[in-house]
């Protein structure tokens, strides 16, 4: 890839791609995950240089819910032998 002469334009384009993806998929994200679970959203960008002075950006969104369950117990090790 050649050196990007105007990185500000590329940064603005990637930001616009991110905004567009989030705005268009937000109803699906909310419907899938609700508000109680942990939400993970990933945005990936691929920039391709055609060698003729044009850069192509491809942005991808992925999202999903993470549901966690925790069990916690305290064991007093001083009250006898602890066998595994």
Q: What is the pLDDT of residue 35?
A: 65
Show the domain range for 49.
Answer: 7-66
Predicted structure pTM score: 0.69
Task: Indicate if the alpha-carbon torsion angle 11, 17, 19, 22 is positive or negative.
Answer: negative
Q: What is the pLDDT of residue 27?
A: 92
In a domain, 74, yes or no: no
In a domain, 2, yes or no: no
Domain count, the chain: 1
Q: What is the pLDDT of residue 76?
A: 77
- Per-10-residue mean pLDDT of the chain, 84 residues long, equals 76 96 92 76 91 89 82 78 64
Q: What is the pLDDT of residue 58?
A: 96
What's 9-75 look like in SS3? HHHHHHHHHHHHHHHHHHHHHHHHHCCCCEEEEEEEEEEEECCCCCEEEEEEEEEEEECCCCCCCCC
Q: What is the pLDDT of residue 36?
A: 64
């Amino acid at each position: 890839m050649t050196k990007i002469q105007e990185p500000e334009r590329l940064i603005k384009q990637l930001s616009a791609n991110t905004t567009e993806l989030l705005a268009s998929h937000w109803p699906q994200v909310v419907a899938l995950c609700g508000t109680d679970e942990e939400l993970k959203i990933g945005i990936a960008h691929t920039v391709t240089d055609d060698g003729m002075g044009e850069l192509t950006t491809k942005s991808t969104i992925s999202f999903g819910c993470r549901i966690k369950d925790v069990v916690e117990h305290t064991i007093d090790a001083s009250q006898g032998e602890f066998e595994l």
